[in-house]
Amino acid sequence: MIKTVIRLRNDLVIVFDDEGEQMPEYQGRYEVVKGSILRDAPLDAAFTRWFDYEAAPEIVCREVW
């Protein structure tokens, strides 16, 4: 199950499950994987963006992710 979704500055997406394991089937270019992530992610999934050189990604709501 999708737990954490990180969108990077270069529009690549990294997805982790509830055990901290990467989920390659949901990873890739933002425009390619966006639909399946939004469809399959549970309501409590964390959507984040890591666009700058911050220590941690910024948590955002799924509507602006």
> Where in the sequence is the domain holding 14, given as residue range(s)?
2-60
Total count of domains within the chain: 1
pLDDT at res. 52: 86
37 in a structural domain: yes
Q: Note the pLDDT of residue 12.
A: 98
Q: Does residue 27 lie in a domain region?
A: yes
pTM of the model: 0.91
Domain annotation covers residue 15: yes
C-alpha–C-alpha distance, residues 32 and 43, integer Å: 21
End-to-end C-alpha distance for the chain, whole angstroms: 19
Would 65 be classed as within a structural domain?
A: no
Let me know if residue 10 belongs to a domain: yes
Residues 1-49: tens digit of each pLDDT: 999 999 999 999 999 999 999 999 999 999 999 999 999 999 999 999 9
Dist. CA 54–CA 42, nearest whole Å: 26
